[in-house]
Chains A and B, each alone.
Chain A
Amino acid sequence: MSAAIATEPLAGATSGRPAGSRLFAAGAAAGHAAHLAAYGPVPRHGRDWSLAQELEASGLTGRGGAGFSAWRKFAAVDRARRPARYARRAGRSVLIANGAEGEPLSFKDATLLHNAPHLVIDGLLAAAEALGAGSLFIYAGAARLPAVAAALAERSDARHIALLEAPDAFVAGQSSAVVSFLETGRALPRDVAGRLADGGFQGRPTLVHNVETWAHIALVARYGAGWFRAEGTAEDPGTRLVSVTGDVPSEVVLEVPGGSRLDGVLASAGVAGDAVSAVLVGGYHGRWVRPSGVVLGGGGVPGGGPESGSVRPGAGVVHVLARGRCGLAATARMVEYLAGQSARQCGPCMFGLPALAGAMERLAAGRGGPELVREVGRLSGLVAGRGACHHPDGTVQLVGSALETFADDVRWHLAGQCQETGGAL
């Protein structure tokens, strides 16, 4: 993946002052020497210093899509590895850097692993020391592994990190699927009774984080929570990577501060605002929004209306749909893909998503009346929450946001026309 990376001033900075890239400060395809020159050595902290405290103060959230508090996951594993006096021994912790990036629209993880693998490794090592971890893994697609292997080979402190080739499937990056792959060689989501922190790989406390999250953890370990919070907003501190894709001059990975305005991100990617019809934020499990006034925020109220709202960045995908392109047709194609990517373990997903895809296809093609919209709603309700993982839920969210954002065009489609393309269906 040779996507361009932007190492100039951060896009859409709310503070108004430009800053250099945090994650790519060592430049493109940075080797260990360049990495150390850019970031300095890993500091030796005193006994009062605790990574858990820094993570809590930093407010770092996961960059893999769910946006869960990084500190909470860390603390859960920390608690689990020190069980109560008479409880069974938990076994040594397992740390996994998840670079599977099964989302087809996303390439930020690939870009990060190609250009700054040493940050990811540093993050794993910092946490391993704090958690007394016994096993460390980096899980990524075949094309990503050579760069990571080269980075590991350059260092003497990372011999014990194992590389795993992730299958090329949408659900391969789901946390329990990662553990399933480790145990059985098949990346299938599991019906997990408890959290992975309490019992994951081989029943041991397991911490799975997106590779970008590990990179941020490495920086927090070096520079502290205060530094981390110097960018971004109070609700969405720090920076994040976004993959800007779709109807854009060229696809690019940008590092943006938390709470960035979406139209600012688009401008930084060279996208003319008035040429944009809608933006899919978060990937195939994300939401369609009209860009004006929308902010990329963590844990915010899902918005997308013409007035300001915030939309969760999810997997950090910003997918642009130009004017004149039909959002319903684009969504129907996505739902068709998602239906095909079902792990085919759970009935409602295995049968419900293809039915939903069929209904969306008919809607996109203008082959139906109002009962079609009711049917999409009915199938969405049938499928949501009924599966071992959130694949059906994410799909339902995509469909719901499409019907909401393209509501006007839905009415046109029911009448056999497309508002956006301006033609008959």
Chain B
Amino acid sequence: MSAAGPAARLHIDWTMCDGRGLCTELLPEALTRDDWGYPLAAPGRVRARADASNVPLTGAELGAAVDAVKLCPLLALRITGP
């Protein structure tokens, strides 16, 4: 993450997410999976508790993040500002 902060954030709507794992494949640096398959922000990314649902993204990850938003089978993702 640059010193200036994230380029954008990936917001996870937990009421829609079913832990299918496509986003974790597209954003392997930002996301892993928890015990039950749900996307988990990588430890280095989480500064505040809110980051767990609004995962900070680098500029280089934006393209993959847009793909993740489009491909998520549950429409559980959206990209928000930093």
Contacts and interface: CB of A to CB of B under 8 A. Distances in A.
A204 B17 CA distance: 27
B35 A386 contact: no
A57 interface: no
A387 B35 contact: no
A385 B40 contact: no
Contacts of B13: 191, 388
Interface residues on B, range: 10 to 19
B49 A384 contact: yes
A384 B40 CA distance: 11
A346 B15 contact: yes
Nearest to A378: B35
A355 B36 CA distance: 11
A251 interface: no
Contacts of A349: 14
A387 B14 contact: yes
Contacts of A348: 14, 34, 36, 38
A351 B36 contact: yes
B36 A385 contact: no
B51 to A, nearest CB: 7
A393 B50 CA distance: 11
A385 B14 contact: no
A346 B51 CA distance: 16
A387 B36 CA distance: 14
Interface residues of A, number: 19
Given A355-B35, A382-B35, A386-B38, A191 B49 contact: no
Contact of B15 (A382, A385, A388): A388
A191 B34 contact: no
Contacts of B40: 382, 386
B61 interface: no
Given A382-B40, A385-B51, A393-B49, A191 B14 contact: yes
Interface string A387-403: 11000010000000000
A412 B53 CA distance: 37
B15 A191 contact: yes
Contacts of A199: none
A347 interface: yes
B36 A347 contact: yes
Interface string B14-38: 1111110000000000000011111
Nearest to A190: B15
Interface of A: 188-191, 345-349, 351-352, 355, 382, 384-388, 393
Please list the 10 inter-chain residue pairs (A to B) with the smallest Cβ-Cβ separation, ordered nearest first: A346-B14, A385-B52, A385-B49, A191-B13, A347-B38, A345-B15, A351-B36, A386-B52, A388-B15, A191-B15
Interface of B: 12-19, 34-38, 40, 49-53
